[in-house]
């Protein structure tokens, strides 16, 4: 029997739970990137040291959304780790936006209170992203089953 006759299947990707988890992770990544983009653009004039990091995070979240859309389960722990770091930054940065109403601060393009609110919105987004990324990883999307032309199956990796 030739190797080309073998059909690789991913049974854990076919479940409704896996499909919905993947969609939620992608949505949370895109929402986090969008909120971060609004904060970055709205606060551009006052974000001297944080601009580059925020741009990098936006790009990474978009790339992660692409990989997750292609069922790359190895990206899920990385997503959770980066979301945990971004969560820490959001928790630290949110009060600073609200403290900008004192005299002597440069006004950003968007009101500082709005930027603070958007930073607070990032906090539950990151918590949900961590939870759903880990849920997706536990669903074992990478499990492969080899289906032979006669209908028999065998596991194709050690995770099965």
With tokens 């389960």, the residue in question is 73
pLDDT at 1 (0 to 100): 47
Per-residue pLDDT, averaged over 88-111, amounts to 83
Q: Residue 71 has what pLDDT?
A: 81
Percentage of the chain exceeding pLDDT 70: 84
DSSP string, 86-101: HHHHHHHHHHHHHGGG
Lowest mean pLDDT of 31-45, 87-101, 124-138, 139-153, name the range. Answer: 139-153
Tokens of 111: 């009101």
Closest CA to 119 of 138, 132, 100: 100
Q: What are the structural domain ranges in the chain?
A: 15-155
Q: Rounded to two decimals, what is the model's pTM?
A: 0.82
Task: Determine the pLDDT at residue 158.
Answer: 47
Q: Which residue has the higher pLDDT, 99 or 144?
A: 99
Q: Give the DSSP H or E segment for 54.
A: helix 51-69
| Amino acid 146: pLDDT | 74
Instruction: Specify the pLDDT at position 26.
Output: 96
Residue pLDDT, tens place only, 51-61: 889 999 999 99
Instruction: Check residues 14 and 60 and name the one with the higher pLDDT.
Output: 60
């Amino acid at each position: 029997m030739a190797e080309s006759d073998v059909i690789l299947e991913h049974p854990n990707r076919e479940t409704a739970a896996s499909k919905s988890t993947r969609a939620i992770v992608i949505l949370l990544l895109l929402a986090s990137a969008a909120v971060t983009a609004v904060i970055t653009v709205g606060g551009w004039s006052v974000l001297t040291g944080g601009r580059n990091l925020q741009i990098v995070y936006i790009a990474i979240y978009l790339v992660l959304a692409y990989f997750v859309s292609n069922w790359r389960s190895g990206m899920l722990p990385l997503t959770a780790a980066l979301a945990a770091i971004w969560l820490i930054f959001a928790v630290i940065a949110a009060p600073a936006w609200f403290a900008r109403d004192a005299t002597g601060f440069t006004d950003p393009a968007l009101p500082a209170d709005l930027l603070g609110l958007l930073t607070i919105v990032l906090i539950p987004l990151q918590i949900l992203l961590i939870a759903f990324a880990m849920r997706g990883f536990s669903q074992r999307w990478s499990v492969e089953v080899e289906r032979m032309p006669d209908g028999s199956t065998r596991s194709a990796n050690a995770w099965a």
